[in-house]
Chains A and B, each alone.
Chain A
Amino acid sequence: MDYFDRFAIPHPSPAIYASMVAIGLTVIAILVGLTYFKKWGYLWREWLTTVDHKRIGIMYLIAALLMLFRGGVDALMMRAQTAVPDNKLLDAQHYNEVFTTHGVVMIIFMAMPFIYALMNFVVPLQIGARDVAFPRLNALSFWLFFMGAMLFNISFVIGGSPDAGWTSYFPLAGNDFSQSVGTNYYLMSIQIAGIGTLISGINFIATIFKMRAPGMKLMKMPMFTWTALITNAIVVFAFPVLTVTLLLGTMDRLFGTHIFSMTNGGMDMLWANLFWVWGHPEVYILILPAFGIYSEIISTFSQRNLYGYKSMVASIVIISFFSFLVWTHHFFTMGQGPLTNSIFSITTMAIAIPTGIKIFNWLLTMRKGKIKFTVPMLYSVGFIPIFTIGGVTGVMLGMASADYQYHNTMFLVAHFHYTIIPGVVFAMLAGLTYWWPKMFGFMLNERIGKWAFWFIAIGFNVTFFPMFFTGLDGQARRMYTYSEASGFGLLNMLSFVGAVGLAIGFAIIVYNVYYSTRHSSRNIGSDPWNARTLEWATQTPVQSYNFARTPQVDSIEAFWDHKKKGKPLFKGKIEKIHMPNNSGVPFIMSCIFFVWGFSFVFSMWIPAIITTIAIFACMAHRSFEKDDGHYISVKEIEATEKDSEVLANESR
């Protein structure tokens, strides 16, 4: 039985056993449910094998929301533990695991799939394309991400979660100080998900460069597509760094090399540098698409064109360039010396300039606009002041000498939540509400949505604003408890209350989905927000081929001009459309990747070798396969288009 000892959890607690039972019951319920309702075939044909960018987008979305729930529970546990001094709810080890998984889940398995959900759904529609450049690779991207996320999530019931922080600095994350398999999970699951992300990056760059509708020059692309392009360019140049970093970490932990160790010449600071060479661009990978979403929403609901289009494009390009030049500011206090710190201080503060330009452009877009305060617009307007607080505290942290006071305190925690939550989470919720009707054919209830917004916006500030003060008073981050004499108790209790408010806000969103699914009107036409970009020019729900005829574009806001000036958008007659075939290989290959990662986590070499061969067999299968896709005939297209026109006319 010794062999199976490795799967045991090193630090068991009743909560973990309860989770095990819950996971087991959920899996059984899903399997029984699928069998009872005879949905296996449907699931396989329509979802697991799909290569349609819209369905892949929706699957990303579901996965992101699940992970948001998981990361949110971690957050609540942390705030509950620190709500009162000397609390015994979680012990130190458990707290370490919780803040580690909170960070990894929220960044890699919640924010990343959320932006890829919206990019997948929206970008091909915005540029008038049938799909992405490589639909099957797109499915592979999703399933690799998904299996990476699943691998990471089973860690806390099999073998133990990682506990070295989401940054996983060596030597703490090395074998000497992290003896459980937790960090192996971290290395393997992020590696698998990261390969998926890299493939997506390549896919979207090729799509945006080559598949735009005729007439849509680069400088006529919608802003969200622009940010998607630049984001994916960052992905392609940053993620290989992560691949190598994780590979070297794996070499150290599993194969006994001395790259990040303290002995035999190893250099522990190398991990911190490599990690943040990826990690800082990653921040902009998350924030740039959010900027794109805000640009679309603010322009739509101010009913004005986006102010300063060219400066918007220039600023995202400059941000993407600078994003690679600031990584050292994550560890000013770790011994680079004044010259290096000064250089990175300056580059850090320089990023505030293009970001400031964007803020002013949004404000000027709203100026003299006829603003409609819908839910997406509320998030966008709320984002501007809250994000500015995050940005200003960022410049404070960016001053290297002052950073010695702030570093590793709750001030930092407050700062990056003030950037990521309004920057990314608000944008995702805004984008979700905005594109929801295009995805699902009905709108989310506005009144309930506004309740959710206010709970989230106020809850967020109540949670994180007190941390600026406790941080300045010296409360260190990642400490599982503090003494009563420190005087941090009251403000931490306030944070906990805010966190509960945030949780209520998210619960209201879940209720809103349920309520709107049951009660919202299905007769919303194809353009319920009176929007400006091409995704609203096609019918709702969007057909598999997106556009029956390819749109012709000759301005930045072709659809708006079509509506207001009557410029024709669709010319010529309907032709047959070539579409890619579904394939089960991406899903199967990713399942094998899951087993492959699991084998490495536990150093089980025989299954590791077998699965490696199986992965290459899948690639060989793809190489030899002849798959020319299929055509949708003109008759079929005309039939679906006619039906939808009838529906559209009825709804008017």
Chain B
Amino acid sequence: MKVDNSLPLEYGTEQNKLNILGFWIFLGAEVMLFATLFATYFTLENRTGNGPAGAEIFELTPVLIETILLLTSSFTIGLGVHAMRLGRKNAMITFFSITLLLGLAFLGVEIYEFTHYASIGAGLQVSAFTGILLTTLGTHGAHVTLGLFWGLFIIMQVKKRGLTPETANKSFIFSLYWHFLDVVWIFIFSFIYLKGMM
């Protein structure tokens, strides 16, 4: 495998460049996926049937905690990629681990939030609004869950194989994915929670 040393490690080989481009295109598809969910959400937002409306069930505290956890994790993974570029393997593993722990905490709060909704009569089957709300949040949550496993695998590989063009490439792509989930969350926070609470 030819490695071009003038570029960062994750871009070092032809296959690496292809992988990163391919992943950006995949993120384009993901944008469409969430855009469709948001469009559907906006259509059904006020169709609450006999169930509660957003303003009646949203609570600021857990949502703010989730937001802070996820935004911080986006920052720490940025630090992780920076450490990777400096070739500092242990620092990178530490930052990636912190990222995943923050993601795990986010997921914990989200699970609490879901059970809370179910307990106050805003479960999945109550109305069009609750259905699309929980499906949209759930799709994001499922992405985070997948990311936790993926990130864990990557940490294990970096630990075992060191920073090679291959592992660096995987780590960088994972960081793109994680940042993307953060962007989606910002939209969820602004246009589902804040808009709903107003």
Contact = CB atoms under 8 A, between A and B. Distances in A.
Nearest to A277: B36
Contact of B25 (A202, A243, A578, A616): A202
Nearest to A241: B36
Nearest to A238: B32
B113 interface: no
B127 interface: yes
Given A247-B135, A257-B131, A257-B135, A202 B29 contact: yes
Contact of B43 (A205, A252, A270): A270
Nearest to A237: B32
A248 interface: yes
Q: Classify the secondary structure of B's interface with A.
A: helix
Contacts of B150: 623
B6 interface: no
B20 to A, nearest CB: 10
A558 B26 CA distance: 32
A577 to B, nearest CB: 13
Contact of A244 (B28, B40, B48, B124): B40
Contact of A267 (B18, B28, B128, B153): B128
Interface string B105-129: 0000000000000000000111111
Interface stretch (A76-84, A258-266, A287-295, A342-350): A258-266
Nearest to B23: A202
A267 B129 CA distance: 11
Contact of A265 (B37, B49, B170): B49
A267 to B, nearest CB: 6
Interface in B23-75: 25-26, 28-30, 32-33, 36-37, 40, 43-44, 47-51
A623 B51 CA distance: 44
Contacts, number: 124
B48 A206 contact: no
Interface in A201-259: 201-203, 205-206, 209-211, 236-241, 243-245, 247-248, 251-252, 255-259
B37 A205 contact: no
A198 interface: yes
B157 interface: yes
B131 A259 contact: yes
B19 to A, nearest CB: 8
B135 A251 contact: yes
A620 interface: yes
B8 interface: no
Contacts of A240: 29-30, 32-33, 36
B148 to A, nearest CB: 12
Interface of A: 133-134, 198, 201-203, 205-206, 209-211, 236-241, 243-245, 247-248, 251-252, 255-259, 261, 263-267, 270, 274, 277, 578, 616, 620, 623-624, 628
The 4 closest A-B pairs by CB, nearest first: A265-B47, A257-B131, A264-B49, A265-B128
